[in-house]
Amino acid sequence: LSLAFLGDGGNYGYSNSGYSVYEEENDRLTESLRTKVSAIKSLSIEIGTEVKNQNKMLSEMENDFESTGGLLGATVSRLRTLSRGSQTKLLCYMMLFSFFVFFVIYWIIKLR
C-alpha cells in the first residue's frame, strides 16, 4: 500500500492532471487576490489623499471663521460704544443698514 502511494512520482496521492488543475486554480485565485489587493491599496491611497485635502480645507475654514469672528466682535464693540451716546437714531439706521448689507451678501453667495 505504501509502495503504491509513493510510486506516483512523489505527488502524494494526486495524479499529474489533478494536481495541475488545483495548481492552476490556486494561481488564478492568487492573481485575482493580487488584483483585489492592488485595487484596495490604490483606493486607500486615494482616500488618504482626499482626507489630507479635506483637513487642509477645514483648517483654512477655521482660520477664516476665527478672523470673521474677530471682525464681528470689533464691530459689536463699536456699536456698543455708539449706543452709549445720544445718537440712538443713527445707531438704529446703522444696524438696519448692516443687516441689509449682510442679507444682500448672503443672497449673492447663495445664488452662486
**Cα–Cα distance measured from residue 41 to residue 45, given in angstroms and rounded to the nearest whole number:** 6
Structure confidence by residue, pLDDT tens digits, 17-71: 567 888 999 999 999 999 999 999 999 999 999 999 999 999 998 888 888 888 8
What is residue 18's predicted lDDT score, i.e. its pLDDT?
63
* AA identity, residue 26: N
* Residue type present at position 4: A
Provide the grid cell at 77.
Answer: 464693540
Spatial CB neighbours of 22, under 8 Å, sequence gap ≥ 6: 14
Non-local (6+) Cβ contacts of 14 within 8 A are 8, 22
Name the least confident of 7-11, 24-28, 57-61, 96-100.
Answer: 7-11
